[in-house]
Structure 1
Amino acid sequence: MALDKILSIGGKPGLYKLLTQTRAGFVGESLLDGKRVTVSLRNNVSVLSEIAIYTLEEEVPLREVFQKIFEKENGGKTSIGHKEDKIKLEEYFFEILPNYDEDRVYASDIKKIIQWYNILNDHGIKDFSEATADNESAKEISEEE
């Protein structure tokens, strides 16, 4: 499952898998407990593939941050929990993304990233490579034909 089908819904814990879209919003399934929820377009919803982390030079897509965590942890869960204190969270994140913007990336953001990574890891979602590269190569092949 790609990150463009995984959602974060404001005010609701965890992550949700996009099941279907409706006229008034969409239906999602919680990755924590499997319960289905109907969400209106008024809710604050973020697609994980659209989230980026501020660094001192540029914005880094969340999937790249997940990939760096995956490589650091050898494909396993994080060695630090999302409920650790602020200093430990920042030290861990500094190992992952040394040039992140400390003024714009808060401890609460780091907590979410660690929690989301572990939820995805628990559900076997471990491929954080860029899906658009596959789409572009498929597009090039179809254009050649």
Structure 2
Amino acid sequence: MEYNRIIAVTGLPGLFELVASKTDGAIVRSLDDQSTKFVSSRVHNFSHLESIEIYTQRDNVNLVDIFQAMEKNSESLPDVKNAASIKGYFEKVYPDMDFSRVYTSDMKKMVKWFEVLKKNSVAIKLTEYAEEPVEEAAVVEEAVAAAPVEEEKPKAAKKKAAPKKEAGEEPATEEEARPKKTAKKKKTEE
């Protein structure tokens, strides 16, 4: 199981693995009981753990940084029912956290999520996106520059309206000679 496929769903406890996404929701598998179900995006919001950031005294950090600090710390996880012990734990584990903006409920969630991730043996790391090497980028730019450019085709000139004919004149074109169709009015019964 990969960390980048783990999501939190509003209104549902625990964490979920994203199995498949659909236009109106997602199919998710619970990390707690391994049950699979459809979750509607009309009712719930989805948050990838990879995209969650935590407030600190300096710049925001990714949740992965907090989890990695928790992993490195030898201290046991606090009881989620005791708010003071949770705050004390995070003051030791990640003292740079902005405790005025990160609430105790958020810290409880982090502890619960960390336990679930460890229980399911999920490697806690961000997905590395491969950057395009400079040499390949230059080749692509050259190919784009060398590609033939299609010229715009001139638009067809609009037909000029035929001059109105005087009474008794012969029609100038074949189209003018054809009788014009008129719309027939439907008779309505009253």
TM-score (normalizing by structure 2):
0.66
Task: Pick the structure with more helix per residue.
Answer: 1
Judging by fraction of residues, say which structure has more strand.
Answer: 1
Q: Who is 2:103 aligned against?
A: 106
Instruction: Figure out how many residues of one structure are paired with residues of the other and give that number.
Output: 137
Q: Which of structure 1's runs of 4+ aligned residues deviate more than 6 A?
A: none
Rounded Cα–Cα distance in structure 1 between residues aligned with 2:126 and 2:136: 21
| Alpha-carbon distance in 1 for matches of 2:32, 2:127 | 25
TM-align CA RMSD: 2.1
Aligned 8 A contact 2:7 2:15 in 1: yes
1:11 paired with 2:4, answer: no
> If you compute each CA radius of gyration, which structure gives the higher value, 1 or 2?
2
1:119 aligns with 2:116: yes
Q: Among residues 116, 129, 136, which one is paired with 2:130 in the alignment?
A: 136
* Aligned residues of 1:26 and 1:40 also touching (Cα < 8 A): yes
- Greater relative CO (CA pairs within 8 A, separation 6+): 1
Shift of 1:141: 9.4
Give me the identity figure in percent.
29
Q: Does the residue aligned with 1:70 lie in a helix, a strand or coil?
A: helix
> Residue type matched to 2:27 in 1?
V
1:55 maps to a residue whose letter is T
CA contact (8 A) 1:64 1:128 kept: no
Q: Distance in 1 between matches of 2:126 and 2:22?
A: 27
What residue ranges of structure 1 are gaps of 5+ in the alignment? none
